[in-house]
Amino acid sequence: MTQALLQVKDITKRYAGLIAVSHVSFDVPHGSIMGLIGPNGAGKTTCFQMIAGAVAPTEGEVFFDGRRLTGLDPEDICALGVARTFQVVRPLQDMTVLENAMVGALLRTPTMGQARDLAAATLDKVGLGPKKDIKAMHLTLPDRKMLELAKALATRPRLLLLDEVMAGLRPTEADEIIAVLRALNQEGLTIVLVEHVMRILMSIADHVAVLHHGELITQGTPDAVTQDPRVIESYLGKGAKHGH
């Protein structure tokens, strides 16, 4: 069996008396799509922040392609090939869509011309090519989400961390992003998604890990996870599995 691209080992995050994440471990194989799911406040975003280097774990370690990430700065982790999107999208409003994507592209390219070419190619992948000269402030929410994705992709990541990239979208708009993610995954990109919409993960993830109150309560295929009584209870409340 090949080594996992991402290994999360026993990570814990304590804030004073609060334990946000408690002893969470999971592996993400090369070329897979992994879903991290759970109700609001389950610790999903805190897990992401520890993987991406924005927050240091109180305990535990994170490895990317065998290299220890724990203790590295976010920009160093990005340079190694880990890109993330943020739950609240904040494009550079006065810059064009192309210029926004170029900010990510400059990590990998030595000249502005090459950054422009990489950014343009990335925008084409997410369907924003025709809007590349529009200022970001004029984009709709679905297009702002696609631009957030493009900015991350322009850093040429090997691992993409998506934090509720489909939050606030209609099902048809979410399906457009799912189609883009599938295509990227078929090109070899490994993806980890934080979501709380089960339908989205069921349609795209190979493997799902479920967090509840900061703890990993189960992980497995989407089908197996949705039939787990602990998952049904944490999502729907006690008694939900009886008579439904």
Residues 64 and 159: their CA atoms lie apart, in Å, by 9
Question: In this predicted model, what pLDDT tens digit does every residue of 73-85 receive, in sequence order?
Answer: 988 998 999 998 8
Q: Which of 95, 94, 78, 90 is nearest to 154 (CA)?
A: 78
Residue 164 pLDDT exceeds 50: yes
What's the topology of domain 1-81+159-244? Rossmann fold (3.40.50)
Tell me the average pLDDT across 179-204.
88
Helix (H, G, I), strand (E, B) or coil at 28: strand
Chain mean position to CA 63: 16
pLDDT for the residue numbered 182: 92
Q: What DSSP string runs through 211-228?
A: EETTEEEEEE-HHHHHT-
Average pLDDT of the segment spanning 184-200: 87
pLDDT computed for residue 241 by the predictor: 40
Q: With contact defined as beta carbons under 8 Å apart, do 165 and 148 qualify?
A: yes
Which band of pLDDT confidence, cut at 50, 70 and 90, is reported for residue 7? very high
CA separation for the pair 13, 145 (Å, rounded): 28
Under the banding of pLDDT at 50, 70 and 90, the label for residue 42 is confident
Alpha helices in the chain (DSSP H): 44-52, 74-80, 97-105, 112-125, 141-153, 171-186, 198-204, 222-226, 229-236
Helix 141-153 with 112-125: angle, nearest 10 deg: 130
185, pLDDT greater than 90: yes
Q: Is the pLDDT of residue 57 over 60?
A: yes
Residue 162's φ and ψ, nearest 5 degrees, are -115, 115
The pLDDT of residue 163? 87
Predicted local distance difference test score (pLDDT) of residue 122? 93
- Report the mean per-residue pLDDT for the chain: 86
Q: What would the two tokens of residue 85 be? A: 């999107």
pLDDT at residue 237 greater than cutoff 60: no
Q: Is the pLDDT of residue 91 over 70?
A: no
Query: Does the structure show a pLDDT above 50 at 236?
Result: yes
Residue 20: per-residue pLDDT: 87
C-alpha span between 14 and 23 (Å, rounded): 11
Residues 104, 153: contact at Cβ < 8 Å?
A: yes
pLDDT at 244 (0 to 100):
34
Is the model more confident about 129 or about 167?
129
pLDDT band, residue 95 (cuts 50/70/90): confident
Burial status of residue 151 (CB atoms within 10 A of its CB: 0-12, 13-18, 19 or more): buried
